[in-house]
Amino acid sequence: MAVLIVMEKPELWPLDIPQARAISARDYLTDPEFVEMKRAKVFNLCRDYGYQSIGYYVSLLAEARGHKPMPSVTTVQDLKQSSLIKIVSEDLEDLVQKGLAPIKSNNFELSIYFGRNLAQRYDRLCQALFNHFPAPLLRATFVLADEWRLASLRPIAFSEIQDSHRDFVIQRARSFFERPRLSSTVAKYRYELAILAGLEDASARPSDERALKRFVRAAEKVGLEATIIDREDYGRIAEFDALFIRETTAVNHHTYRFARRAEAEGMVVIDDPRSIVRCTNKVYQAELFDKHNLPCPKTVVVHRESARQLGEVLGFPVVLKQPDSSFSAGVVKADDEAELVEMLPGLIQKSELVVAQEFLRSTFDWRVGVLDGKPLYVCRYHMARGHWQVQKVEKAKRPNYGKVETLDVQHAPPALMDLAVRAANLIGDGLYGIDVKEVDGRFMIIEINDNPSIDAGNEDAVLKDELYLRIMRCFRDRLERRRQ
C-alpha cells in the first residue's frame, strides 16, 4: 500500500523516507495518478482542515477513493465540537490532573507530535488525546480554574512547530513512518489486518502465542498482512482494513472502543460491537434463549427483592453469574441457602441484575466454534480436577484447566451442532463459542461467547493450520465483497 504525505509545500518536508512519498495537496487532488491509485495511506499535513479548505478536501477525497486518511473527515469534524472535546476532557480527567499538577501557571499548551511530546512525562496524556483524535500534529490548550480542563484542541501545520521542537518532530515522524508494517513487503498483500492481542494478562487471552503466530502466517497465505497491536494503537486503527480481536472483551473496556472505532471507519471487524454487547451480558442471553425456545437450564434473572425466593424456584445447588462474567470469573455455585445469602450481595453490588441457573452436573461441557454461521470446530472441555468448572482459579496460583478433546465436526452429534448454529445465528455472523451441556442425551445451551478460545494444540487439534486459514479467508472474502 502506498504511503503519501500530503502538504501544501512538500519541498519543506525535511525527511526522505523510502516507504513514504511527500506530494503536494494540489497534486493529490487533481493528478490522475492519485485519483486512480487503488490503495494508499494518506497523512494529511495541510495547514488548515476547515470546511471546504484544501486540507478538508484531501481527507474527504481520500475517503472517497478508498484511501486511508489521517486525520479522517470524522476526526476533522470532531475537533470542531467543543462539547465532544469537553466529554473527552472529562474522560481523561485523572490523567490531566495528574499530568499537569506540577505546572505553576494558569495556562498550558501541549504539542502532540504523532502521539508524543518532547517531554516524556506527558506521553500518556498525548497518547490518550491522539487516540481520541488521530491527527499527526495537534496542540492542546489547558486552563486552570479549580482544576485543569482542556479548553481547546486543534491540528497544527508543520510551519507552526517551534524551531526547538523540529529535531524531535523529525525523529517522531521517522519512527512513525518507518515502523515494520510500512516495509517494502507490504506491496504483496492486498489488505492489512490488525490483531488486537494485548499483553496485560496472557493467561486470560483467548489465543496463546503459538496460535497468534499461526494466525499471522495464515493471513499472509491468503493475501493479508497481519500486525499484532495493543491498546496503545487505538489512534492508528484506521490505517488497517480489518480488525480481529483476540482479547477478552467487555462493553466498558478498550476492546469495545476498538470495535466501535473500526466499524465506524468501515473496517471488517470480528468481534463486532453488537456481538460484544450481546455475548458479554448473560441477562440478554437469558431473554434471548427464552424468546426463541432454545433448550437451556432453568434460569431466573434475579434482583435484590426477588433473591429470597431463588432457592424455592431453582433448588440447590444453584449457579450465580454476573452478567458480564468470562473465563469462569464472576460465576459461583451456592450449595445451600447459607452460601446463597453469603454470595449474592457481592454480585448484586456490581450489577442490578444477576443470572441464576439450576446446576447441571456433568464431567465436561461441549464447546462448538461457529464462524459466519458454519461450524468451525467442536471440543469437549472437561472439568478441572476436583472442580465443577472447566477452569479452577486459586489465589496466587495460575488457573488450572481440565482436559480438552477436539472432535471432527462431522463426527459430533447432529443435534448438538444444530443447536449451536441456531444459537450463534441469533447473535450475528461473527466468530462465537457456544457452550452446551449434555444431560441424559439432551443438549442444553449454557451461553454464547464472542472471541472464543483458540489455542495451539486444543481447538486446532483436528483442522491444524486449516482452522486459521478458514478464519483468515473469512476476513479476505468480506474485504473483497466490501471492495466490490
Using alpha carbons, list the distances in angstroms from residue 286 to 196, 332, 450: 29, 17, 16
**Where do we find the cell 491527527?**
135
Give the residues across from 111 on adjacent strands.
139
Note down pLDDT in tens along the chain; length 484 residues.
788 999 998 887 877 777 788 999 999 999 999 999 988 889 999 988 888 899 999 999 998 898 989 998 888 888 888 888 888 888 899 999 999 999 989 999 999 999 999 999 999 999 999 988 999 999 999 999 889 999 999 998 888 888 899 889 988 888 887 655 444 444 567 899 999 997 666 666 899 999 999 999 999 999 999 999 988 888 888 889 999 999 989 888 889 989 998 998 889 999 999 999 999 888 889 889 989 999 998 888 877 766 667 777 888 888 888 777 665 667 888 888 888 878 877 787 777 788 888 888 888 999 999 999 999 999 999 988 777 777 766 665 667 778 999 999 999 999 999 999 999 999 999 999 999 999 988 999 999 999 999 999 999 999 999 999 999 999 999 999 987 7
**How many CA atoms are closer than 13 Å to the CA of 282, on its beta-carbon side?**
27
Neighbours of 264 (CB within 10 A): 14
Cα separation, 231 vs 199, in Å, equals 9
Nearest to 278 by CA among 425, 155, 462: 425
Cα separation, 35 vs 55, in Å, equals 16
- Helices 93-100, 82-91: axis angle to 10 degrees equals 70
Q: Which residues contact 224 (CB under 8 A, 6 or more apart)?
A: 189, 190, 191, 192, 193, 242, 472, 475, 476
Cα separation, 277 vs 270, in Å, equals 13
SS3 379: strand
Using alpha carbons, list the distances in angstroms from residue 443 to 64, 366, 410: 50, 9, 17
Report the predicted TM-score, pTM, of the whole model to 2 decimal places. 0.77
Predicted confidence at residue 309, as pLDDT, reads 72
